[in-house]
Structure 1
Amino acid sequence: MTKRFPKLIVANAILFFALSAVGQFGQPKSGLQPMRSAVDLIKKQAPLQVNQALLAKISPDEVHLIVSLAKQRAYLMVAEEIVIDSPISSGKRGHSSPSGSMHVMEKDPNHYSSLYGDFVDSSGRIVRAGVSMHIDAAPSGTHFQGAAMKWFMRLTGEGVGMHVGILPGYPASHGCIRMPSDGAKLFYDHVKVGTPVEVQPAFNPVIPSAFEGSRHENFEVTHRDPRLRSG
């Protein structure tokens, strides 16, 4: 009996530590959060906003544009007043949008890229999507079809411009300034060839309170999720 007593103590001790380990490590922690998808991590952009009272009175002769690459916004302005405030998507890493003082060099309502697009066959079926004429060769039996850039406003001789495009919530283009379709159309209709454009890496205009969420009869939110707008 006395010889078995130490063994019984050891066995009980092993059992106790085993049960403690299961309790500590074997049960899932209730505080763990599920993994978030990439879509959840995309920063939501404020929607397109328009001062309808000002818009009704302006002419292309008096407007100028400011594009903030830091804020991912484009502003159509008269003097110091913002008429249209639009979300954008500028050039991604390695294809940064140029900054500086520019002007609208050309307007084309149905422009197509000469550099980026798809290879399609004779029936128009896409064989290879998202190609670059700089680096990709067309497969046999296909030809290049440029990406649509509706409401195109050219800013540089190299082909950078403002046009309709997908807005994922971050810089994603090959250098152009992508805009929601309704925003691009409004800008297009209210600029002319020669309209000044200032593309700034960082710009923080004095934005009227109506653009910060308070209600105002002159301002109108035209859509709620610019990430879903595409050309």
Structure 2
Amino acid sequence: MGKFLNFSVAVLTAAALAGCDTVPAPRLVQAAPPPEPVSHEVPYRWTQGNAPQAYKDMVDTFGRHGLKPGEYVVASTIPQGETRIVVDLLTQMAYVYRGDKLVGASTVSSAKRGMVTPLGFWSILEKRPFYRSKKYDNAPMPFMQRIDGYGIAFHGGNNPGYPASHGCIRLPMKFAEKLYGLTKVGSKVVIEG
């Protein structure tokens, strides 16, 4: 190593004395910066923090980091209190609270491309154990819970794991039934995405 260093210094010194400016100066190689920490936070278009918190509550309550299409979890005991539903359009999940306690979570299927599931704060306006769509070929909407004046509702239906509805929030059938039993007209809903 010493011989190589002496040779390099000799070459650079000779080039400098000869007036040669074509010998490049030694480059310092800077180490690459450490990689950014991987974040498991998801970028929301509109959020009040309910959906990210609901996900954390699901992990804490049920020990689950996600659900497969059509899958849901429900607490074995349901406390008293007001029911509140948080829907996360980005991850296609719904979370149900009684008071401040998460009591259930489910996959959903919201509006497909070209259709809209509206973001924002809503309330259950109407409930019917069985209903048929007036807009879409009399399609069945079991355990229907309408949240707006245009017909957007929670109901049981196909839950493929991606947005596929005309705007409604489809739930696995058994979960739709359980949710129907937990809510009342006036129950609060927040939809984020």
Please give the TM-score of this superposition, normalised by the length of structure 1: 0.53
Q: Secondary structure at the match of 2:180?
A: helix
Contact 2:70–2:161 (Cα < 8 Å) also in 1? no
Question: Residue in 1 aligned with 2:130?
Answer: 110
Pair 1:158-2:150 in alignment: yes
- Deviation, structure 1 residue 46: 7.1
Moved over 4 A (4+): none
- Looking at structure 2, the residues matched to 163 and 191 of structure 1 have their Cα atoms a distance apart, in angstroms, of 13
Corresponding residue to 1:93 among 103, 113, 136:
113
Code of the residue aligned with 1:166 in structure 2: it is: N
Structure 2 counterparts to residues 1-231 of structure 1, below 5 A: 44-45=68-69, 47-53=71-77, 55=78, 57-59=79-81, 62-117=82-137, 146-201=138-193
- Deviation, structure 1 residue 96: 2.1
- Looking at structure 2, the residues matched to 96 and 172 of structure 1 have their Cα atoms a distance apart, in angstroms, of 11
Q: Which has the higher contact order (CA 8 A, sep 6+)?
A: 1
- Looking at structure 2, the residues matched to 115 and 46 of structure 1 have their Cα atoms a distance apart, in angstroms, of 25
Q: Mind listing any 5+ residue stretches in structure 1 that lack a counterpart?
A: 1-42, 118-145, 202-231
Can you list the C-alpha shifts for 1:207-227, whole angstroms capped at 9, x where unaligned? xxxxxxxxxxxxxxxxxxxxx
- Looking at structure 2, the residues matched to 109 and 44 of structure 1 have their Cα atoms a distance apart, in angstroms, of 26
- Deviation, structure 1 residue 105: 0.2
- Deviation, structure 1 residue 63: 1.3
Over the residues paired in the alignment, what is the CA RMSD in angstroms? 1.5
- Looking at structure 1, the residues matched to 108 and 158 of structure 2 have their Cα atoms a distance apart, in angstroms, of 9
**Aligned residues between the structures:** 127
- Deviation, structure 1 residue 79: 3.5
- Looking at structure 2, the residues matched to 166 and 160 of structure 1 have their Cα atoms a distance apart, in angstroms, of 16
- Looking at structure 2, the residues matched to 151 and 105 of structure 1 have their Cα atoms a distance apart, in angstroms, of 13
- Select the structure that is richer in strand: 1
Q: Mind listing any 5+ residue stretches in structure 2 that lack a counterpart?
A: 1-66
- Looking at structure 1, the residues matched to 101 and 158 of structure 2 have their Cα atoms a distance apart, in angstroms, of 27
